[in-house]
């Protein structure tokens, strides 16, 4: 009798596989792919039209999207970054007017907006740029396992969400569970030319 694989076990194996691929990337590869990703985001119609944009301060293994943050501020867009409430296992979008001047490290080492930063209601956000451990071609996201983004994205229309990742983070399939939130598009660097 064939039993379906446990989705959580599949996700754990995917995380291990993708993290190994990320560890094999050179700093130069990460920088080049990050540059390509930022250029693609800035050219998106959704980004161009968005007045309120929620980005993220990259962790290790996530594309360096700081140029998009600086571009958004220079264009007069309202820039938000996630601030996590670890006790409630939730996050909010808080205002950043100066990158990196308005950013601090929280008690777990995440780069977040200062505690006094104005918090915006999720319904006012026109674009959320979402990191992930991996993404499928259909926009199913594999996160780090805490569910923070899934709970937050549930408040935001799907067509306002894009995922970003390095090429090695694109996988054929990610198990989709009832609590998982998807993105409408995944932005990644084009294939390297030989």
**pLDDT by position in tens, the chain (length 194):** 567 789 999 999 999 999 999 999 999 999 999 999 999 999 999 999 999 999 999 998 899 999 999 999 999 999 999 999 999 999 999 999 999 999 999 999 999 999 999 999 999 999 999 999 999 999 999 999 889 999 999 999 999 999 999 999 999 999 999 999 999 999 998 876 44
In a domain, 193, yes or no: no
Domain that holds residue 104: 7-187
Q: Given this model, what pLDDT does residue 135 score?
A: 97
In a domain, 1, yes or no: no
In a domain, 15, yes or no: yes
Q: Please count the structural domains in the chain.
A: 1
Angle value at C-alpha 189, between 143 and 141, nearest 5 degrees: 20
In a domain, 146, yes or no: yes
In a domain, 103, yes or no: yes
**pTM for the whole structure:** 0.93
In a domain, 2, yes or no: no
Q: Given this model, what pLDDT does residue 1 score?
A: 57
Assess contact for 103 and 57: CB atoms under 8 A: yes
CATH number at residue 119: 3.40.50.10420
User: HSE of 146 in the Cβ direction (CA atoms, 13 Å)?
Assistant: 13
| Per-residue CA distances from 160 to 47, 59, 84, 114, 122 (Å) | 9, 22, 21, 25, 11
In a domain, 86, yes or no: yes
Assess contact for 102 and 90: CB atoms under 8 A: no
Q: Given this model, what pLDDT does residue 60 score?
A: 87
In a domain, 194, yes or no: no
Distance CA(14)–CA(9), nearest Å, equals: 9
Strand order of the β-sheet with 52-54 is 119-120, 90-96, 78-85, 52-54, 127-130, 161-164, 185-187
Q: Which two tokens stand for residue 12?
A: 């754990």
- 66-74 helix and 27-43 helix, angle to the nearest 10 degrees: 30
Nearest CA among 124, 125, 131, 128 for reference residue 110:
131
Q: Given this model, what pLDDT does residue 192 score?
A: 63
């Amino acid at each position: 009798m064939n039993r379906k694989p446990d989705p959580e076990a599949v996700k754990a194996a995917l995380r291990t596989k993708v993290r190994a691929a990320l560890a094999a990337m050179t700093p130069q590869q990460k920088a080049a792919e990050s540059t390509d990703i930022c250029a693609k985001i800035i050219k998106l119609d959704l980004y161009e039209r968005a007045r309120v944009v929620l980005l993220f301060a990259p962790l290790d293994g996530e594309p360096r999207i700081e140029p998009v943050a600086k571009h958004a501020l220079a264009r007069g867009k309202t820039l938000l970054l996630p601030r996590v409430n670890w006790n409630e296992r939730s996050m909010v979008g808080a205002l950043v007017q100066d990158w990196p001047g308005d950013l601090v490290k929280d008690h777990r080492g995440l780069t977040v907006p200062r505690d006094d930063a104005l918090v915006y209601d999720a319904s006012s956000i026109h674009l959320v740029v979402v990191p992930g451990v991996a993404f499928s071609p259909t926009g199913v996201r594999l996160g780090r396992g805490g569910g923070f983004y899934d709970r937050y994205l549930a408040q935001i229309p799907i067509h306002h969400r894009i995922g970003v990742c390095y090429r090695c983070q694109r996988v054929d399939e990610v198990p989709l569970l009832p609590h998982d939130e998807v993105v409408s598009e995944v932005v990644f660097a084009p294939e390297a030319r030989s």
